[in-house]
């Protein structure tokens, strides 16, 4: 039986599990506030430490200012405290990123998941560091930033030396890193930084990261099997069935698939809608995976 995580590895923070919450839409493409509130309530009742809005699984890059305000207000109105909400900042220009930060802070949210500017590819770590520096310097209020490393989506990476430089420069403003690259070598380069919360986005790496100080996860699978993901975080116990499920999920476009699976668990096909350019998940795959998920839920 694995010993507890806190007994085996130092870490700056026990972040736990935040679900990378999916975003529901109405038939005409607007934010479905009723479904959002119901799902937020369900997740928090499952014992999660928090919710992350507007990330990759939440189609954040497809949501504008009005959409973001609508969803964030719906989740807060559902009773989720602002202190348990992380808001993803997804923009390539300072004005939009700053406006997203200000809107979150106006609603009491201080923890931010900061994606890098994603339009220009092949940028240097020096240039990326300057972008983060200017954004932080322009923000007047305190905040806790989680750097979002997902280069397979953004085409821009937060390498370990830059993470270290930003932490040394901005201290508590840099709270941690969400490492969603699925590259163990990169994750391993971050884990020795025990003054940061190192969060693993690929659930298949959680059991390896936990004994080395991994602080938790912002997880798309947290929408579906939160108790199972949380157990991996807190015990470091391998879960081959979860690994096999994630293998199947990432073999298809992930975001539409997770949304459809959420709808299947709630017996609500209205969850299947996506924002273009994303398309709905394959119904045959959804049905197959639902049976597996129900079995794993026990």
Q: Measuring CA to CA, how many Å separate 9 from each of 6, 56, 64, 77?
A: 6, 29, 40, 37
Q: Alpha-carbon distance 147 to 175, whole Å?
A: 8
pLDDT at 142: 87
| Structure token digits, residue 133 | 């520096």
Question: What's the alpha-carbon Rg for the chain, to the nearest Å?
Answer: 18
Beta-bridged to residue 155, according to DSSP, are: none
Q: pLDDT tens across 244-281, in order? A: 999 999 999 999 999 999 999 999 999 999 999 999 99
Residue 123, sorted as left (phi over 0), alpha (psi -120 to 50) or beta, turns out to be beta
Q: pLDDT tens across 95-151, in order? A: 999 999 999 999 999 999 999 999 999 999 999 999 999 999 998 778 999 999 999
Q: pLDDT tens across 36-72, in order? A: 999 999 999 999 999 999 999 999 999 999 999 999 9
Beta-bridged to residue 184, according to DSSP, are: none
Cβ neighbourhood burial of 118 (10 Å; 0-12, 13-18, 19+): middle
Residue ranges and CATH numbers for the domains of the chain are 7-238 (3.20.20.70)
């Amino acid at each position: 039986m694995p010993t507890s995580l806190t007994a085996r590895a130092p870490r700056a923070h026990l972040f736990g599990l935040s679900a990378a919450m999916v975003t529901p839409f109405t038939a005409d493409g607007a934010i479905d506030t009723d479904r959002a509130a119901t799902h937020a309530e369900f997740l928090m009742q499952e014992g999660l430490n928090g919710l992350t809005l507007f990330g990759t699984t939440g189609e954040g890059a497809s949501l504008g200012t009005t959409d973001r305000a609508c969803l964030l207000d719906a989740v807060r109105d559902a009773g989720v405290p602002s202190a348990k909400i992380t808001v993803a900042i997804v923009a390539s220009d300072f004005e939009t990123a700053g406006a997203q930060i200000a809107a979150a802070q106006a609603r009491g949210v201080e923890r931010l998941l900061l994606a890098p500017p994603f339009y220009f590819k092949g940028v240097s770590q020096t240039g990326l560091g300057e972008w983060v520096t200017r954004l932080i310097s322009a923000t007047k209020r305190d905040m806790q930033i989680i750097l979002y490393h997902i280069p397979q989506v953004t085409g821009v990476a937060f390498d370990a030396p830059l993470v270290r430089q930003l932490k040394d420069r901005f201290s508590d403003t840099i709270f941690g890193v969400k490492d969603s690259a699925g590259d163990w070598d990169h994750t391993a380069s971050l884990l020795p930084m025990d003054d940061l919360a190192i969060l693993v986005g690929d659930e298949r790496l959680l059991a390896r990261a936990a004994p080395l100080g991994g602080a938790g996860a912002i997880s798309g699978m947290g929408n579906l099997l939160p108790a199972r993901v949380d157990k991996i975080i807190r015990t470091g116990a391998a879960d081959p069935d979860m690994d096999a499920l994630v293998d199947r999920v990432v073999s298809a476009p992930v975001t539409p698939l997770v949304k459809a699976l959420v709808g299947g668990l709630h017996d609500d096909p209205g969850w299947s809608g996506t924002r273009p350019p994303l398309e709905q998940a394959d119904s045959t795959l959804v049905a197959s995976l639902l049976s597996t998920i129900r079995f794993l839920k026990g």
